[in-house]
Structure 1
Amino acid sequence: MNSKRHILKESSVQRVQSDPQREENCSGDEVTHPRKLNGSSVDPPSYHNLHRELLLSHKRGLLLEEKPELKRVLEQRRLDLHKEEEMARQRPSDLETELRKRQQKLQEIRRRESQQKIPEFVRVKDNLRRTQTSEQ
């Protein structure tokens, strides 16, 4: 039924294009274009076929502009690893070394503060466990 409707609409569009009375009434400067009927089925079937083919190729990842997601992720990981290797080869700058020292000091201070907050009997108990395991 749907294909029958499509054929009927196409034939009506072709009739509008080849109507001889319209061609006589129009001046030579004016170009008449057939009116589109409501609905997208009026578009030539080649448009539908191209659109369908484009959607299918996109689903399969056959488009040249866009790589499949897996390839993009692997390529990004490879680039990240390459950047990390380059950073590791370079000697750290003075600013970076100073920042690392400060960070280590802050971590040490936080660790001491957290140990001071722990009650003394818990610390003694942990020390006893360490000495017992080291003796055995």
Structure 2
Amino acid sequence: MLHFFLSDRHLCWMITPHQVIENQQQEEDDLIRPRKLINPILASAQRRALHQELLFCWRRGALPRRKPELQRVMEHRKREQLRKREQALRPPSDLQVKLHRRQQRIQFLEMEEKRRTERQKNLPEFVRVRQTLKHIQKVK
């Protein structure tokens, strides 16, 4: 049995690669090759016409069902005004009240700082230097 297997194996080595390729091609020719089916939606004339029209409109810059820019801006403004009116009618929440107070305090402090710097600019230089010297002497 072993001898038969060896001799069979020996025969396999005897077949040239060219013969193997020819056998494979012959087997492939005998088979029915599948073809890609035609998509009826892609092949329809209506779809092609619609696609062509959309491409034409897109190139021109006028897409269908698109509002003019002025109309869109006006609608956006109306929505914003309506939202602000509704928000004004509602009482402010605790968080909003605290944030508003903090904002007022910060603005007040900024105004005070601005006034102080304006006063410092209006003073002569020797007075400013003298004030800093007094401050330094107090620290020692």
TM-score tier after normalising by the smaller chain length = 0.3 to 0.5
Name the TM-score, length of structure 2 as normaliser: 0.45
Higher-helix-fraction structure: 2
Name the TM-score, length of structure 1 as normaliser: 0.46
If you compute each CA radius of gyration, which structure gives the higher value, 1 or 2? 2
